[in-house]
Amino acid sequence: MILSVNSGIGSSVGLFNNGKLIVCLQEERFTRIKNYMGFPQKSLDFILNTYVKPEEIKHIALCNSADHQITTESFYKRYDDAFEDAVDGKTFDRYTLQNALSKAPVFNSIYKALKRNKHLLKNRMDVKKLLELGFSIDIMRTVGHHDCHAGAVYYGLAQDQNEPYLVFTADGGGDDITTAVWKGENGDLSPLATSNCYSLGNMYSMVTHFLGFKAHEHEYKLMGLAPYVNPKYAQKYAEFFEKFLGLIDDDTVFFNYERMEHRTFAKALLDQFKNDRFDNIAAGLQLFSERISIRWIKGCIKKYGISKILGSGGTFMNVKINKLIAELPEVTFVDVFPSCGDESNIFGAYYITDRKVSSNTSVSRLTHYTTGSLPSPDLASALMTFKDKISFEVVDDVNKVMAEYLAEHKLIARCTGPMEFGARALGNRSILANPSDLKNVSTINRAVKKRDFWMPFAPIVLDSRKDDYLNIPESIKTHGSPYMMFATDTKEDKRDDMICAIHQGDFTARPEIIDSKRYCDLYEILSHFNDKTGIGVLLNTSYNLHGYPIVENSHQAIEVFVQTELDFLVIDSTVIRKRP
């Protein structure tokens, strides 16, 4: 068995055996701290207590080549510090400083020694934690940050590894790389181009913080806001961002026009924007992001002559960029790893490690993303804990019952089956609703979500009816969008049926297209709903209170339910109501 550990942003851990996924978990679901960063202690304890004995683990894959001693608090403090220093005029260019120190032999030696120390296995924080649990350092190996991103999407989603793919990785940085292009072919990955400039991911997170939102969490709010803005204003503000980031080498490598880091970019934002509308800034950033990303993809396709595309890394969480990539005539195939922030690096670390330590020349492709724990173990005790606030009954045909309630516009929370991995609920820890009544948007927001008014919900769509509702580009038709990683245009004549689950500004959707194999019970619920209403779509949003992670177990599910105005909670075959 192979254990894969990410102790950085999006702390996570996964267990794999003989090329198969056993369980993958995010630490935030156990700590209840959204976007938890650090060693995944509680989720690892859960795995060791539930799935495997320590001595059964033969190899441990560690995400990132260098040690990432980071906490949630220290990470977000960097953003506050950058703007505070910019206000105080304390900006400086670390590259110039490093260059000056490199010319001083003593300081240069110290700098190189410190950098080497970060890569020493025995000095890593995650290694020390694992040693405390009794694991041997001899079974541990590291995998580079962008190798993890590339490995996850290539080995996980390439439909035929004998054919060539261009693999793109882009984020705010890891192991001194912020963007990279790889060639995947015959089961091997080789880098074609890399950059460590101040990246699009850096810029987007800083603007998110600048506008009063939470970096590395609320970037999607800027993306969602952009379609409401007049294009002429988006163009004006896009021109500001164009001054900082560009492309060289036939549009294949990112670079900065000036030396950049958080402090210098913070100062530029503060100097430029005084009385500007936040929606205009968001729209300008999104437009710039789309344009430069498309240039990058097209430049690499032209240079390397490969039209099958794979993407991973936090920048590819931007589904509007992914939509434009999918619509490019140069692209014959594209897929993006689900929830492709750093939390999913455990998949790439595993895939790469498995190929190195075993006789496997290929690994099993990703077939599902409901990889976590079940709600049933604590259901009986949770029902007893909340018995004064709830009533419940066990139902034989629970999927049909749910469909009937949904047809009556009831709001239902569903906590059934293995928990989803990543940022997006896929139906197992979801709030479901009838998508045809626009009032359901405000009802859900009032009942539980408290979302910003401009943010859309997402649709779950039957695979058999996807072409009735969505304009799906040819490049994703073979695999669809089972994990909500692409936005698509919607069919005008069907928008009324799914009005609650599409963007009200541009009428796009971020669909989860489901089949009966990957989503058996969810498919059955939606099929019953379709038979009853003629609508092959459900509204889907994650089951959590605002600002908290998605619920993990029965106790959390009922605890959230009694605090909301939701009509029903379904845990496996148990239907739960509130007492009057």
Eight-class DSSP state of 135? -
Structure tokens at 506: 């541009």
**Res 107: pLDDT:** 57
**Res 364: pLDDT:** 72
**Res 25: pLDDT:** 97
Q: What values do phi and psi take at 263, rounded to 5?
A: -65, -45
Structure tokens at 188: 């091997």
Q: Which residues share a beta bridge with 577?
A: 391
**Res 113: pLDDT:** 53
**Res 60: pLDDT:** 98
**Res 574: pLDDT:** 98
**Residue-wise over 36-62: b if at least 16 C-beta within 10 A, else e?**
bbbbbbbbbebbbeeebeeeebebbbb
**Which CATH number is 156-339 given?**
3.30.420.40
Contact 440, 411 (CB under 8 A): yes
Distance CA 94, CA 263 (A): 10
Q: In the CATH scheme, what architecture does the domain 376-578 have? A: Alpha-Beta Complex (3.90)
Distance CA 552, CA 43 (A): 11
Residues of the chain under the 70 pLDDT cut: 91-119, 359-363
| Count of CB atoms situated within 10 Å of the CB of 34 | 17
**Res 114: pLDDT:** 53
Distance CA 563, CA 83 (A): 37
Contact 58, 353 (CB under 8 A): no
**Res 19: pLDDT:** 85
How is the chain split into domains, by residue range?
2-75+94-146+351-357, 156-339, 376-578
